[in-house]
Chain A
Amino acid sequence: MAKRETVLKVTDLTKKYGDHVIVDRFNLTVSSGEAVALTGRNGSGKSTVLRCIIGADRPSEGRVEAFGRKVMETDAGFRRDVATVVDDLDFFPDLSVVEHLDLLARAHGLADPDSLVDEVLDEVQLVPQSAQLPGTLSSGQRRRLALATALVRPRKLLVMDEPEQRLDVEGVAWLGARLKHEMNKGLAIVMASHEPTLVNALGARIVRLGSAAEVSESQVEPEYEL
């Protein structure tokens, strides 16, 4: 088995809004080929941690490093290696579904973007909608398009906020199998999830965030239970 390298290192991450502490001294280390699932009640800070990890939010204190470098959202290297599926994804109003995926695959310099795009479209069941503009898609279809944007490009770390949202049972099963396949090839995954099926399918390490958001890796639970 190949040596696992540290992909993500979060040290003493604290996030406050005014006096209100959302996340307090959060620590996390993720290696390649590993999946980490952040769980916890609504408002426990899962999405905030993810947003700090991808650089969308700045931590009040602490440090987030990806691939040994401080996370900088505007850095080309970070954008190349880290794929994200969080709620702030927007789409070009005048580009069709397939054109979005084609553009992303080409921007990442893939050798044969056409076949990959076709394959991913088929996987996310958006072939009939391929010519549609994003504004006409249902919320579930938009979610699948968001997942597709992360699948048509190379990535070493995948950060997702509740990827199971608006997916049916079959969709969750497909996503679990797809991500597990990629983990075997070295992809690291950090996600917030409320879906035990997905978490268990990935064999993800679970980090539960409390209401006071005081979390460390020692709180890892062996198995995710409802």
Chain B
Amino acid sequence: MSRTSKRNRRRSKPKDENRKKKSQADSVEVALAAPEPVLYERETPFADVEDFDAGVADERQVRLLMKDWRKGRATRTVWDMITDGYVMIFSLVVIVAMIVSGIMSVQKSAAGCSTSGCLTARGLLPWLVLSALTVAGISVSRIFGPVIASAAEGFWLLDAPIRRSRLLSGRLWAVVIGGVVIGVVLGGGITMMTGLSWATITIWAAAIGLAVAAVVALAAIEQAAERTKVLAVVQPVIGLVATLVLITMVAVAADWIELPIDPAHTEKTGVFILAIAAVLAIVFSIIARRSLHNVRRARLVSGGDLLSGMQGAMFALDFGLMRDIVVNRRWLTKGQVHPVKGRSSGRAALVWREVERVMRNPRGVLVLLVSAVVPYALLSLGLGNLTPAVSALVLMVVMVPFFDSLRVLSRTRGLARAFPMSTSELNGALTTVPALLALIWAIAASPAFVLIGPDPVTPQGLFDGLMKGFITAIAGYIAAIRWVSAKSADYSSPMVATGFGAMPPGLMFNLVRGFDVIALITLPVLVGWSPWISIAIALVSYLVLRAGGINTQELMEQNEEAQRKLAAARDGGSPGGPREKITYTRGVGARR
């Protein structure tokens, strides 16, 4: 029945269209004459869905069918892509080799540490990495889902009478295994810097990977249950553990407390953590797999929408846009706030509003204060000269949320135009509160450079240490401004020919924005030059960024306008409006 009716439908299509056209023409005439109902006639019977066998859909077959279609539409093979992107692959290999080489050299130098403070810091670092990465894993999982589906899949597949859990199981395993891989790579990479034995590093890397996988699976259980209660408790608890570990590292490094940790003990605890993490990862994954059928379509698709938006930003290497998407999503979920009346007027009103925003989202201040411990931790690990650059990098990351207003005014100019002040004044007002926060950070972090150093502390050592702390804070602060206010790649300009193919100007700079400022400002400290050179570089960088960057076109126009006014004044006329009579008082030279 089904085959016959399909053929009939195909054959009858043109006839139907002709008849439809005819009937439309008739209906116009009829409408003009008299409104009579037009009966629809059909040679073949309508197709009834009941006539078709409604069997049970096999989810595996559906997945394979989709895979087959996608493969069939691919125009390039993997080998084609590798051949085309050989320059990129070569560059990536070089970069990875540089990172590994850097880690190895740090590991070598760390392996030489023999003081009790240094050894304790080495023993505590894996704990810090473990807790920090699991907190990050929970955050990312909560933002995306962690199990996601695209809008198309949500419409075409998830509405069908199929077992959702079987369709989505691949996604769950992908995110769980992804969690393991990311945890192992990052955890292993950072733990390698401690100079511990390879066996200990391997054990801790595996433990961290499995711990991340466990929290991702836990987030999937929560996603299916439409709740966040468990994660809302687990996340701050692990965050607190991370903070306590960090503070302990500092206390030991500053000789406030003694906590001898035997390297053998670190290996044993690693095995213990590995076992617990493995059990949790397996148990949570099984529960998550079983509860997949209950995940609502909206919860799956919203994560997919977010990811597709971020993928678009990722292809443009626009990390600022990626963050914008996440921030907008967070506030959209919140929906409304308790409005707070502003204070003062002019630029001060903007500053006050920034204070209100900080109070509205105080978690950022807490993170900033905790991050002040980073220089202590790095110095206690014996990272020495690298401490200002790495600490500034951490500060940049934690300071970015305080520049959300600057980000909005930088990305589109519409709102900036509504404020009665120049770009420089506007940016100055919006960067005031973060500057105060950076100052607080500097006050909290600077003693690290004095306390954890050569004994006894000389006046010159005190001055150098404090300067290093302030330069670090300034570098992080200015790098954050640079990161949020950098322009996106300009796709309207002509493309630039590169080894990677045609690229819009500025695309590659997106990768290094923020980092470039940190490198510039901390380089003199690294090579032992006067700290005043760093201060001078920071001042110039800040002034340029405050003015909204260097706009050569605008500068040229301003110059032309000034030249025009000057020429007009020389000719005795004013550039706009009626001629102004200028009289000079003899001997005084004042203009009236």
Q: A79-B419, A107-B350, A109-B346 are in contact. Are A132 and B414 (CB under 8 A)?
A: no
A153 part of interface (Cβ distance < 8 Å): yes
B524 part of interface (Cβ distance < 8 Å): no
Q: A79-B421, A107-B345 are in contact. Are A73 and B332 (CB under 8 A)?
A: no
B260 part of interface (Cβ distance < 8 Å): no
The answer to whether B408 and A90 have CB atoms under 8 Å apart is yes
The answer to whether B417 and A68 have CB atoms under 8 Å apart is no
The answer, among A91, A98, A135, for a CB contact under 8 Å with B408, is A91
The answer, among B339, B342, B414, B422, for a CB contact under 8 Å with A90, is B414
Can you identify 11 A-B contacts, CB atoms within 8 angstroms? A76-B421, A79-B416, A91-B415, A95-B357, A102-B339, A107-B419, A107-B420, A109-B420, A131-B337, A133-B331, A135-B328
B548 part of interface (Cβ distance < 8 Å): yes
CA separation between A2 and B570, bound complex, in Å? 33
The answer to whether A109 and B345 have CB atoms under 8 Å apart is yes
Give the total of A residues in contact with B, Cβ under 8 Å: 49
CA separation between A110 and B338, bound complex, in Å? 23
A212 part of interface (Cβ distance < 8 Å): no
B contact residues vs A (CB 8 Å cutoff): 327-328, 331-332, 334-347, 349-350, 353, 357, 360-361, 404-405, 408-409, 411-423, 425, 548, 553-554, 557-558, 561, 576-577
B333 to chain A, nearest CB (A): 9
The answer to whether B337 and A56 have CB atoms under 8 Å apart is no
A136 part of interface (Cβ distance < 8 Å): yes
The answer to whether A102 and B331 have CB atoms under 8 Å apart is no
User: Which 3 A-B pairs give the minimum distances between C-beta atoms?
Assistant: A106-B349, A68-B576, A80-B420
A72 part of interface (Cβ distance < 8 Å): yes
The answer to whether B350 and A130 have CB atoms under 8 Å apart is no
A96 part of interface (Cβ distance < 8 Å): yes
A75-110 to B contact mask, C-beta < 8 Å, 1/0:
110011011101111111111101100111011111
A contact residues vs B (CB 8 Å cutoff): 54, 56, 58, 65, 68-70, 72-76, 79-80, 82-84, 86-96, 98-99, 102-104, 106-110, 113-114, 130-133, 135-136, 149-150, 153
With a CB–CB cut-off of 8 A, which chain A residues contact B561? 70
With a CB–CB cut-off of 8 A, which chain B residues contact A110? 345
With a CB–CB cut-off of 8 A, which chain A residues contact B328? 93, 135
With a CB–CB cut-off of 8 A, which chain B residues contact A76? 420-422, 425
The residue on B at minimum CB distance from A68 is B576
With a CB–CB cut-off of 8 A, which chain A residues contact B340? 99
With a CB–CB cut-off of 8 A, which chain B residues contact A72? 554, 557-558
The answer to whether B414 and A86 have CB atoms under 8 Å apart is yes
The answer, among A84, A92, A135, A153, for a CB contact under 8 Å with B405, is A92
The residue on B at minimum CB distance from A100 is B415
The answer to whether A79 and B417 have CB atoms under 8 Å apart is yes
CA separation between A74 and B558, bound complex, in Å? 11
Q: A56-B413, A107-B345 are in contact. Are A79 and B553 (CB under 8 A)?
A: no
The answer to whether B554 and A96 have CB atoms under 8 Å apart is no
Q: A54-B417, A133-B337 are in contact. Are A93 and B422 (CB under 8 A)?
A: no
- Interface residues of B, dominant DSSP: helix
The residue on B at minimum CB distance from A131 is B336
The residue on B at minimum CB distance from A9 is B576
A73 to chain B, nearest CB (A): 6
B347 to chain A, nearest CB (A): 8
CA separation between A153 and B417, bound complex, in Å? 12
A105 to chain B, nearest CB (A): 8
CA separation between A113 and B346, bound complex, in Å? 12
The answer, among A69, A106, A114, A136, for a CB contact under 8 Å with B335, is A136
The answer to whether B414 and A84 have CB atoms under 8 Å apart is yes
Among A73, A95, A108, residue most surrounded by chain B Cβ atoms (within 10 Å): A95
The answer to whether A96 and B336 have CB atoms under 8 Å apart is yes
B110 to chain A, nearest CB (A): 42
CA separation between A92 and B344, bound complex, in Å? 20
With a CB–CB cut-off of 8 A, which chain A residues contact B553? 58
The answer to whether A74 and B548 have CB atoms under 8 Å apart is yes
The answer to whether A153 and B418 have CB atoms under 8 Å apart is yes
A198 to chain B, nearest CB (A): 22
CA separation between A108 and B420, bound complex, in Å? 6
The answer to whether A93 and B554 have CB atoms under 8 Å apart is no
B554 to chain A, nearest CB (A): 7
CA separation between A109 and B420, bound complex, in Å? 9
The residue on B at minimum CB distance from A55 is B417
CA separation between A110 and B12, bound complex, in Å? 72
A128 to chain B, nearest CB (A): 11
The residue on A at minimum CB distance from B553 is A58
The answer to whether A94 and B361 have CB atoms under 8 Å apart is yes
The answer to whether B360 and A73 have CB atoms under 8 Å apart is no
With a CB–CB cut-off of 8 A, which chain B residues contact A82? 417
The answer to whether B415 and A89 have CB atoms under 8 Å apart is yes
The answer, among B349, B350, B408, B577, for a CB contact under 8 Å with A93, is B408
A181 to chain B, nearest CB (A): 21
Q: A90-B412, A90-B415, A103-B350 are in contact. Are A98 and B339 (CB under 8 A)?
A: yes
The answer to whether A107 and B337 have CB atoms under 8 Å apart is no
B324 to chain A, nearest CB (A): 8
Among A69, A109, A153, residue most surrounded by chain B Cβ atoms (within 10 Å): A109
The answer to whether B418 and A83 have CB atoms under 8 Å apart is yes
Q: A76-B422, A79-B418, A89-B414 are in contact. Are A65 and B408 (CB under 8 A)?
A: no
The residue on A at minimum CB distance from B331 is A93
With a CB–CB cut-off of 8 A, which chain A residues contact B557? 58, 70, 72
The residue on B at minimum CB distance from A93 is B331
CA separation between A130 and B340, bound complex, in Å? 11
The answer to whether A106 and B342 have CB atoms under 8 Å apart is yes
Among B405, B419, B420, B548, residue most surrounded by chain A Cβ atoms (within 10 Å): B420
The residue on A at minimum CB distance from B352 is A106
With a CB–CB cut-off of 8 A, which chain A residues contact B419? 79, 104, 107
Q: A74-B423, A106-B342 are in contact. Are A133 and B336 (CB under 8 A)?
A: yes
With a CB–CB cut-off of 8 A, which chain A residues contact B404? 92-94
With a CB–CB cut-off of 8 A, which chain A residues contact B344? 106
